[in-house]
Structure 1
Amino acid sequence: MARMTPVDIARWITAIVFVVIGVTHFIPPVVRGMAAMVPAVFHGRPFSAVGWVWVTGVAEIAGGLGLLWEPTRAAAGIALAVFLVCVFPANAHAAGKREKFGVFAVPFWPRLAMQLALIAIVLWVGLAP
């Protein structure tokens, strides 16, 4: 059995995190909270707010699994980085509105820092050999 490198361990952890978070996009109370975060401009373009939650859940699950299979690893890392950029408007919309969005309302600057760190991580684990 091959010995796991630090990037292998980080890849597995990252993949598991994305898959688990993706699965939560199908739990009704979580879906309601996340759907409320979707800015109105995106409603019906082309999905409802709930549809966006489901689509992003599928994307997170697919991206996480893609990191684990060598032929799709690089594409999954790049796709997850793009995904993180694309979902940031919903996070920014919720920033600081804890009374409305609860735990999803991470203040803007910490959320931006976290998003940038996640982008760096998915690119690292996706593109590293």
Structure 2
Amino acid sequence: MDAVPELATGLGDPVALARVITAVVFVGIGITHFVPPVVRGMAAMVPRAFLGRPFSPVGWVWVTGVAEIAGGLGLLWEPTRAAAGIALAVFLVCVFPANAYAAQHRDRFGAFAVPFWPRLALQVLLIVLVLWVGLAG
């Protein structure tokens, strides 16, 4: 497995370091999608258009958690790295409606509700980041 040598010896390379940090962050955030208080907050962010299509709000939270964990792990293994970077970029586009919905309802979502424009900028930066660490050699 390529991930172990990269973790042990490749961290002097800025791309490898960014890749590992990005992977750890995505796996960590993905894990939080299974913590009950976080699940409740995130489930409330699911826009009405997605309710029951095809998952319940909690189901959407779990699916997105699995996607984040899989994407993060995929960045660490060279054969899946490019696909993981692209999949995470698509994922970040797909989850943005929930973030925009939360931004419109800051009084209801508190810390989950990053204002729209900063969240959009962050989302674009994250997309650039996952593509960079996923596609860079």
TM range (shorter): over 0.9
Q: In structure 2, what is the equivalent of residue 81 of structure 1?
A: 89
The 8 Å contact of residues 19 and 62 in structure 1, kept in 2 or not, is answered as yes
Alpha-carbon distance in structure 1 between the residues aligned to 2:77 and 2:70: 11
Note the aligned Cα RMSD (angstroms): 1.0
Q: In structure 1, what is the equivalent of residue 100 of structure 2?
A: 92
C-alpha distance 74-3 of structure 1, shift in aligned 2 (>3 A): closer
Q: In structure 2, what is the equivalent of residue 39 of structure 1?
A: 47
The 8 Å contact of residues 96 and 106 in structure 1, kept in 2 or not, is answered as no
Q: In structure 2, what is the equivalent of residue 17 of structure 1?
A: 25
Partner-residue secondary structure (3-state), 1:95: helix
Matches within 5 A, 1:43-62: 43-62=51-70
Alpha-carbon distance in structure 2 between the residues aligned to 1:80 and 1:103: 23
Gaps of 5+ in 2: 1-7
The 8 Å contact of residues 73 and 126 in structure 1, kept in 2 or not, is answered as yes
Gaps of 5+ in 1: none
Percent identity reads 78
Q: TM-score, normalised by structure 2?
A: 0.91
Q: TM-score, normalised by structure 1?
A: 0.97
Q: What one-letter code is carried by the residue in structure 1 that aligns with 2:46? A: V
Cα offset for 1:97?
Answer: 2.5
Q: Please, which of 106, 120, 124 is the counterpart of residue 116 of structure 1?
A: 124
- State the aligned residue count: 129
Q: What one-letter code is carried by the residue in structure 2 that aligns with 1:88? A: F
The 8 Å contact of residues 92 and 127 in structure 2, kept in 1 or not, is answered as yes
Alpha-carbon distance in structure 1 between the residues aligned to 2:10 and 2:64: 33
Comparing both structures, which one devotes a greater share of its residues to helix? 2
Cα offset for 1:3?
Answer: 4.2
Alpha-carbon distance in structure 2 between the residues aligned to 1:57 and 1:15: 13
Partner-residue secondary structure (3-state), 2:34: coil
